[in-house]
């Protein structure tokens, strides 16, 4: 019996491996629009797809970043400046994409742009702190998608949304995890709706990688700024010792564990765009596969017990 079961499991993975190796034809004729190409995953993906021969339309937040990307790429790659938190920017970028893809439509839309946003304990934050993050990571992603969806549908193409393993397990406060949970929900509903039109939707869930968003100095500065804006009563309840322990946990254990090889993520993005049979979800990074993803499937009481034990204890906790 066990032998038959092992053979069945082996056959499943063999068939899956074979299906996932099949590549879409005529890649050099296909247009892909990527947001957040100024640095990090978006920048590497734009160059990676450009080398693969696809027609890359790269959106950067600043013209300086766009110039640097063009200097590192072939003449096929084109850039546009885009702040996805601004509707007028999205409208202009949509028209720019339409002019380039014409009747072919847009094969791939990669919603990569995002910010880490102010983070820390939820009580330290204001409503505006949450709004700032949600406007970019969630509402910006939704608006870009809705604006370009007719072009993707015309090409029977792909939508690739960059979520995070924080969209499966919320370990810290702030708007980042909330926004990524929202991206997961948006992607799920979108995938089912667009299946009728031959459009595939994939979600990438990276763990912790070394990018501008995980820069240690930047992250610690944001946490201190959030702490400084908190009221005196909140500071008394948590205590200065809690803050220092929290910063030490982030700077000495969480951020140093971030992986440096960004291609682990961009390879997932590329597969979602170029494979005949892309996956619904891709998890990238050992921390995602071995810690966060298993934790997300644990009973809530067990996950809570582990995470509560890791985090420092407030001064006036019961």
Distance between CA atoms of 79 and 141, rounded to whole angstroms? 18
Evaluate whether 57 touches 78 at the Cβ level (below 8 Å): yes
- Residue 83 neighbours by CB under 8 Å, 6+ apart: 61, 89
- Residues forming a β-bridge with 111: 161
SS3 of 46, please?
A: helix
Say which of 4, 13, 31, 176 is annotated catalytic: 176
- Residues forming a β-bridge with 119: 174
Tokens of 248: 């030490």
Known catalytic residue at 297 = no
Tokens of 108: 């791939």
Residue ranges of E strands in the chain: 31-34, 55-60, 78-81, 108-111, 158-162, 200-206, 281-284
Nearest to 35 by CA among 94, 121, 116, 88: 94
Instruction: Give the residue numbers annotated as catalytic, written as ranges.
Output: 176
């Amino acid at each position: 019996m066990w032998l038959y079961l092992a053979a069945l499991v082996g056959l499943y993975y063999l068939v899956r491996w074979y299906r996932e190796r099949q590549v879409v034809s005529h890649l050099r004729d296909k247009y892909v629009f990527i947001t957040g190409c100024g640095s990090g995953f978006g920048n590497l993906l734009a160059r990676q797809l450009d080398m693969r021969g696809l027609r890359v339309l790269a959106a950067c937040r600043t013209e300086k970043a766009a110039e640097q990307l063009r200097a590192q790429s072939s003449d096929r790659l084109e850039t546009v400046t885009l702040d996805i938190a601004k509707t007028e920017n999205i409208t202009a970028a949509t028209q720019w994409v339409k002019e380039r893809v014409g009747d072919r439509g847009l094969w791939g839309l990669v919603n990569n742009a995002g910010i880490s946003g102010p983070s820390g304990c939820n009580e330290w934050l204001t409503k505006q702190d949450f709004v700032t993050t949600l406007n970019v990571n969630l509402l910006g992603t939704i608006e870009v998608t809705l604006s370009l969806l007719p072009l993707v549908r015309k090409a029977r193409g792909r939508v690739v949304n960059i979520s995070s393993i924080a969209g499966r397990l919320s370990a810290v406060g702030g708007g980042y995890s909330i926004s990524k949970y929202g991206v997961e929900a948006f992607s799920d509903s979108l995938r089912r709706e667009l299946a009728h039109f031959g459009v595939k939707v994939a979600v990438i869930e990276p763990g912790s990688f070394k990018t501008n968003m995980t820069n240690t100095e930047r992250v610690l500065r944001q946490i201190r700024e959030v702490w400084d804006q908190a009221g005196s009563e909140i500071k008394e309840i948590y205590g200065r010792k809690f803050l220092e322990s929290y910063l030490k946990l982030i700077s000495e254990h969480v951020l140093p564990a971030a992986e440096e090889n960004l291609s682990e993520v961009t390879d997932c993005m590329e597969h979602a765009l170029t494979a005949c049979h892309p996956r619904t979800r891709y998890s990238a990074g050992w921390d995602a596969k071995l810690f966060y993803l298993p934790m997300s499937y644990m009973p809530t009481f067990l996950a809570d017990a582990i995470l509560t034990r890791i985090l420092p204890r407030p001064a006036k906790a019961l």
